[in-house]
Structure 1
Amino acid sequence: MLFEVLTTGSMLGVLGASYYYKANLNDDSDKILKIAENCGLYKKDEKMRLYRRNYNKAKKYTEYVFKIPLGLELQDFLDKYGKFKDGLNNRSVRRINLQDFKNLKFDASLLKQIQALINNRVQLSKEIEMEYDGMLITRVYDEGLTKELLYDDDLLAKVKNWQVPVGVTYKEFVVHDFEKLQMLVVAGMTRYGKTVFLKNSITTLINNEPDNVKFTLIDLKGGLAFSRFMACKQVQTVAKNGEETLQALEAIHADLIKRQEHFLANGWEDIGEAGWKERHFIVVDEGAEIAGFEEKADRDRATHLLGEVARIGAGLGYRLIFATQYPTADVFPRQVKANTSAALCFKLKNSTQSMVVLDRGGAESLPTGLPGRAIYQTDCDSIVQTPFIPNQFIDIKIKPHINIRPRSDDASVSHRAKTEEKGGSYTTKFEET
């Protein structure tokens, strides 16, 4: 009896493994073509045609190269991203792990155990990437991105100087280098990772460039997001309301103009030629709150000052991170938008908001209830899972840089920029007021 069960189990195991491999030949080309046709991605009688298919075993994706009809462009297909993704994941498949057969119990229930292993089904979770280089390249990954990425010492070791970790794509680790892309826009609904990324960036820069980085932190929802950084010696200002924001931006603008004049006088084109190591980061969280300033003159002035930093600050050593959860055209400073070199966009409510940030839809189609998932845009778009940085980890990393100083009665810190030139050097000091 036991021999019969074992024999039957072995045969089922072999048949199950055979079925598994036959059912997973990684060919979704027919389905992609059908989805494109159903979405109207054709011109008259001309439809997409498969040119080549290759499977990358190491990175577990299948690359399809399609010839698309004249008159269609990459954006037409990106606009239908959600339909392609859902269409490729509309069924479950058998998932057999042959290692599980080692854990079988050789008793009367053996046959049922084997059948359970063979009949194990999982919902598909494929992810897709699209790009264009004369033909449409579509990569279909066997499995989606990780849903959790912890910021730890190993991850911190992957970035240096003025780099900050953006996260992982389906195939690589991505960093943002503020020496190459000086201005960054961050957008996303609350609880999807926007503020966590800002804390990630501040902690990274303090850890990697403690003697050269300076911060002006603007949190227009009361300063809670940046409260743990207030005592860091690298932090010049934490502005928590409209009045403090205007004071901080006026000080930065005055410093920026004087620095520009100093560079002109010395014939320096930018901060690299000047040989200055300092970089001053202006980090704005909830930037859309500027539109809520009571006085129109204050709103206009704050918007203008941020625009000036974005327009002329890069070559003078200023870096801007502008973040908002309400990216609409009437609250997004035009000069910031025009001079932005990169964007990190978490899930947004609708395609209109996505268009403001990315100039295309897509952020509204990011997974619901999945913090950290975002679109990182430079010269191309990548879907990334950004790292989660625990507050305990932040506290450990910034502790050596805490500068104990007396606090004013209202627990706010504002500063006045004071520029000095001595012996050919140029420094900016900040005095408490």
Structure 2
Amino acid sequence: MDLLDPILVHHVVNSLGWRSLRPLQEEAIEPVLAGEDAVLLAPTAGGKTEAAAFPLLTRAQRQGWKGTGIVYVTPLKALLNNLHPRLETYTGWVGRTAGLWHGDIAATRRRRILAERPDLLLTTPESLEAMLVSANVDHRAFFSGLHSVVVDEVHAFAGDDRGWHLLAVLERLQKVAGRPVQRIGLSATVGNPRQLLDWLQGSGRGRRPGRVVAPGVTLPEPGSGGPSVSLPEGEPGAGSGGQSVSLAKGAPAPPPPGDVELDYVGSVANAATVIAALHRGEKRLVFCESRRTVEELGEQLRLRGVTTFLSHASLSTDERRRAEAAFAEARDCVIVSTSTLELGIDVGDLDRVIQLDAPATVASFLQRLGRTGRRPGTTRNCLFLALDDAGLLSAASLLLAWSHGWVEPVVPPPD
């Protein structure tokens, strides 16, 4: 912590009440301050945002960065909305600013951002591209002070075509800035972080220094070809002591922490009956694998008198914001969502996670399981409710892989 800006250290201790930094936050300081590219890997709620933000703000202070020096990219607008107040607080501690730019931001606020050029800009790759091609944005002036880009939930980009779009936008930003731009990826669940770092570096691979920062994680040796990663103690799916386990090698897996159950209900209506009856008075987040199921379950829960919020990409801005506000304000309620609320969003007072059928990957399940168990004295938990035989088999096979500590590697699509 001694390497951080003293004003930041003062607020970490006195405003946040932290006696020390978490292991990832400590180990990330040196490479981030040195300007290295990095992938920062830690369990859900492991303090990854601060691990990137604190040393970057320290660099900005020491090197006198002017204008927008940091761009913070996430895959979801909901995650941006959630992060903005926190990063606005951190930048304010050192006399700097943070701005929020995405498709739901009003034109007046966008004009203010263009005029004031916040030190840290939170946005999506699509909004960045829109800025780069807009006749209303002097992108060369706006991004002339850019030094670093943080990509939150980087695994969510690398696994599909949005990742290639992100890399193309980052290459254009670097050209506009006229200097090498540091790239920092944040992730909680990935089986091949070294390959992910190589991917994130883009044209800088082999030319720029880069490292994976993952305290307590046993990484596969370079060239081993193994996708398995040993998770640190406390990560869902990790055995005690962070022991290395691998399905491919048939190693025995210690029981992973967390209260996880699987049950068969047979229909959305029956699932609604179970959810309405269980854990009354608590805040419950239910994940569904389609928007149609979200809508159907929401209707069934409301018919049973349950206070219910919905979240998926087709909802209006107002409806999405109501769902996000429920995390901070409501108590006895159910929030039904697709994967939109899986990533990174702070749900520190969430009591339960319920999953209809099964997500597509163990990594996705780990993200969802990690929404719970954040309060002292609570454990991570997830109740699987299978709607049919296929859902039951999918959930059972996923839980078998999870029990062995296995996480999929992130494989970018062919270019």
TM-score (norm 2): 0.33
Larger strand share, 1 or 2: 1
User: How does the TM-score come out when normalised to structure 1?
Assistant: 0.32
